[in-house]
A = this chain, B = another copy of it.
Amino acid sequence: MDISIVGGTGAEGFGLALRLAKAGHHVTIGSRMAEKAAASVEEAKGILGEDAPVDGAVNAESVVGKPVVFVTVPFSGQAMIYDAIKDTLEEGTVVCDCTSPLMTAVGGRATHAIRPWHGSAAEFAKSLVPKHVRMVGAFHTISAEALRALDQPVDSDAFVMGDDAEAKTMVGSLIQDIPGMRWVDVGGLQMARIAETLTPLLISINIRYKLHESGFRIMGRDAWGAPGK
């Protein structure tokens, strides 16, 4: 699949780019500056090999013609980034917002959540793009370090939320391509109000227990796949 990762030069986005490219997807790393994107492409090829299916572009260009776009930026930059890509997002594009609204955006702590007016960062994102965009939220609880450690499976489930079932399944299938990961459909986009606050919970656990890669697994379920099966 052709994928853009807007903000793909950051730790979370770059880790995701590596994992998806390693799984055989064509990944375009988006950045505000073409040079930064190019540097990350070089770094990715240094890790994955020169033939790795990775290229780079400025954010607005990176999303053109891509069925799935991940947006991995800090909450403080979210509005600006969506403003940059909203006119080049094509009809029906699936956008997976990975933003966690933390108090760090206003000088506070990473263990504290901040609530956007719209309820969640994902709902805020939805308000910033044309109606034809299919917004999904995911990856709030997946550690950048775990994504980056390519020699190890990611021992974590990804909570996926959105109002378009097909869009969720598309994102879910990409998640399943990452060794160790499973996706969990947790409901409509509003569930981002809950899922996004799991980031500060994990950060608090990481600090208290001196960890870097804590994550969640959902227990009590034998069969994993599409909901209801």
List the interface of chain A (C-beta within 8 A of B).
Answer: 111-113, 143, 146, 155-156, 159, 184-187, 190-191, 193-195, 197-198, 200-201, 204-205, 208-221, 227-228
Contacts and interface: CB of A to CB of B under 8 A. Distances in A.
Contacts of A208: 185-187, 227-228
A155 B190 CA distance: 28
A186 to B, nearest CB: 5
A85 to B, nearest CB: 29
Contacts of A113: 193-194
Contacts of A112: 190
Given A184-B205, A194-B200, A220 B227 contact: no
A191 B195 CA distance: 14
B194 A209 contact: no
B204 A191 contact: yes
A201 B159 contact: yes
B211 A220 contact: yes
Contact of A215 (B185, B198, B219): B219
A210 B220 CA distance: 11
Given A191-B201, A201-B191, A201-B195, A221 B227 contact: no
A187 B214 contact: no
Given A113-B193, A155-B220, A216-B218, A186 B209 contact: no
Contact of A216 (B155, B212, B219): B219
A210 B194 contact: no
